[in-house]
Structure 1
Amino acid sequence: MAKRKARAEVDAQPEQRKALKPTAKEPEVENGTALVQGTTTRQRTKEKVLILATRGITFRHRHLLLDLVQLLPHCKKDAKMDTKSDRAVVNEVADIKGCNNVLFFEARKHQDLYLWIAKSPDGPSVKFLVLNVHTLAELKLSGNHLKGSRPVLSFHQAFDSKPHLRLLKEMLTHVFATPKRHQRSKPFFDHVLAFSVADNRIWIRNYQVVTVLDKKKPLPEQSSLVEVGPRCCLNPIKIFAGSFGGPVLYDNPEFVSPNTARALAKRAKAGKYRNKVTAQEQRRDHLQQHPIPLNEFANVFR
């Protein structure tokens, strides 16, 4: 009888029974990663990077691309593209792969390499000229770190001095920062990606963190950095509001295209040859105007 009375009291209070139901939790934010928790599902919004190139890249450019694939466990690699003009196709490929960041290597004349860093599909995007490329295969440095480990991003203080550098810092962070608890990454840090600004260019270096152990305990004061590679230099050309196009937000006034640089070098060599020919003609005219006088004793001993 006591059990029947208790059940009748609970049935008579529907408001109290509703209050006992579990409420949905608010989404958590973890290092820029939104965690949406429900009753049965758990979703994460992560940064994913698509890496692809056009046809015509050299072996060194291809090795640089493969080195970046090893550094970024949260990236997806796609086949080479035949088109170099319609870059909007890259946004479609990124949508198919489920990526919101794009690293697009564009080769020109089998010697020049351009790099596009874009947020797909709405932008912004940046076009760089890649210089001073050194891959892991040719550097042969003594440093080494575990594949798939998360990097510590180190930015030069000059990135906070100008608006376009602050934008570049944010985009580089989205691309090179491995999301926390990614299924392909290791849950610790053992290398540093350093981004420096010098001569209006961005210099990228990769270092291994070497720790000294004392009775199986690390000594942070005696830690050091050893370069691993790869290394390269990015010369920014333009920043666009959209993905691979749109209004120009920044235009580098000091940029000189590789074609113009090669034309100036050829012109300098042509000027050197022209000066040599002119000097020979002047010497010939001088000898004609000032002939050497004949010596009357020149044929005495013949």
Structure 2
Amino acid sequence: MRILVVGGSGLIGAHVVDVLRERGHAATTVARTARPGVDHLIDVGSASVDELRSLVAGHDGVVYATRTDEQRPLRKPIYPTFRRDNVEPVVNLFTAGRLEGLTRGVVMGSYYTYFDRLRPQWRLAARHTYIRCRVERAREGRAAAGPDLPVAVLELPFVFGRAGDRLPNWSGPLDRWARSRTPLAVPAGGTAAASARSVAEVAVDALEQARGEDIPVADENLTWNDMIARIAEAVGRRRRVARLPAGAVKASLRLGGALQALSRKESGVNPAHLADLLLAELFIEPTTGRSLDPALRETFADTATP
């Protein structure tokens, strides 16, 4: 296969490229900024369908592996911005792919869409603009692709790992917190987690099999306590992690939501309802059963203080 990897210089995209080439496939990389190994520089978010057609021409499939900062507050209303950044580029890309006769595609998504299906009573898409746009991106991207271009959506949790100097966008604050003298305290609940390498292997499997369904991905399910304790151990600061009372978590985040509303800003994940997610066990079954320890060490240990 010859596969175009959009976001090929990012953490997950770089691993996808590695796995493709290890299995004997050809990979073409696309990114917005120049880096070693990037074949094409283009902002897919602003590219037209015709520009994207020339980019995907001659490929068998495409992987969309760009990332979004769902927590950054923006001026209200944020839905048009999130839709422009999250939905429209995927619709245009798969429209171009259909017109050029591509036969397979993968989109890196969020495990929030998995829980939106699994727990409709949580009303995740209604409460969180980011999740709404993830749902729309999967639905409308597939509609644009048509029946001859199956698109697998990988529903991803926290992803650990490293690709050169590329790390998870959330790892910096946790790294600094784990190394600091600030007490470690977390709420009840937890999250699924996966390594970037595992995600890449699932993505390439989906391409090889031309799968077109939603694929939740997890190596392990971790309580927040376990996750933070393992990060602290990885940076060489092993210590006890305390439990935050649920009431304090809810009050703090509701206050944050109120202050954000007063400033006429919103974020993709609404802080007024974020406590419900933090206190839940956002676990995926089944898991791969692979240990996250190697990816944890890649993410945190290399910069450990001597």
TM-score range, shorter chain: under 0.3
Per residue, is there more helix in 1 or in 2? 2
Per residue, is there more strand in 1 or in 2? 1
Q: Higher relative contact order at CA 8 Å, sep ≥6: structure 1 or structure 2? A: 2
TM-score of the superposed pair, with normalisation by structure 2? 0.26
TM-score of the superposed pair, with normalisation by structure 1? 0.26
Task: Report which of the two structures shows the higher radius of gyration computed on alpha carbons.
Answer: 1
